[in-house]
A = this chain, B = another copy of it.
Amino acid sequence: MNRAIAIIGGTGPAGTGLALRLAKAGEKIIIGSRDATRALQTADKIRVRVGPQAQVSGLENSAACAASDLLVLTVPFESQAELLKQLKPAIRPGSILIDATVPLAASVGGRANRILGVWQGSAAQQTAELVPKGVSVVAAFQNVSAEVLNGDEDVDCDVIVCSDDPAATQIAMELAAKIPRVRAIDGGKLENARIVEQITALLIGLNIRHKGHGGVRITGLPEAAYKAGPSSL
């Protein structure tokens, strides 16, 4: 694919980690940030880690949206709605927006192993309400540890992909399966994101309790349900 993927909020740990993995897989990445200078700095760091063949650039968030029709949103929940309102004019019709946001209670000073109730049902459904018409929202990547993404080990986690647009689900699943050992699973409708988002809070609680970097695997489905990535780098 020669299509660029814009990672909105790409200077945070989750965004940087995803950008790193996707750049390693040969994808063309645009790091988006409120601050274009920071976006460029993160792009440079990723290039150093991946090597000179890495296709990574950095832009201010709205310029990043304007430059791509495949967006990945990796911002804290407290920034999500306001940022999407700002970016609305820049998001191209027909774009796919992959939302990794989790409404952790930490967003309002609470605990990271608790979840806020979101009126729409989930952070991803809130996003669906805020993007321009004709933009497909996909919920994915919420359960993958940012620490693991930023490390060198394979990612021992499934990515459950939820969307009301089956074509967008397929694209997000293909993207997820580019990360070594990730398996993408079609999780059905976007409304199911509310459960997938909550799993992140459970994993954070387990990480605190057991000192790990928890992930999740779904067992017991037929082989065809899993879109598996390469087994290792």
Q: Knowing A195-B199, A199-B195, A199-B199, say if A215 contacts B219 (CB, 8 Å).
A: yes
Question: Binary interface profile of A, 207-225, with partner B (CB < 8 Å = 1, else 0)?
Answer: 1011111111111111011
* Interface majority SS (helix, strand, loop, mixed), chain A: mixed
A217 to B199, CA, bound (A): 12
Residue among A188, A211, A213 with the most chain B CB within 10 A? A188
A14 contacts partner chain B, Cβ-Cβ < 8 Å: no
Q: Knowing A198-B195, A216-B217, say if A205 contacts B188 (CB, 8 Å).
A: yes
**Which residue of B is nearest A156, CB measured?**
B219
A212 to B115, CA, bound (A): 29
Partner of A224, one of B210, B215, B224: B210
Please state if B113 and A220 are interface contacts (CB–CB under 8 Å). no
Residues in chain B near residue A225, CB distance under 8 A: 206, 209-210, 212
Q: Which 4 A-B pairs have the closest CB atoms?
A: A212-B221, A210-B225, A217-B217, A156-B219
Please list 7 pairs of residues, one from A and one from B, whose beta carbons are closer than 8 Å in the complex, sorted by A's number: A157-B220, A185-B206, A194-B198, A195-B198, A212-B225, A215-B218, A217-B218
* A positions within 8 Å CB-CB of B: 113, 115, 145, 148, 156-157, 160, 185-188, 192, 194-196, 198-199, 201-203, 205-207, 209-222, 224-225
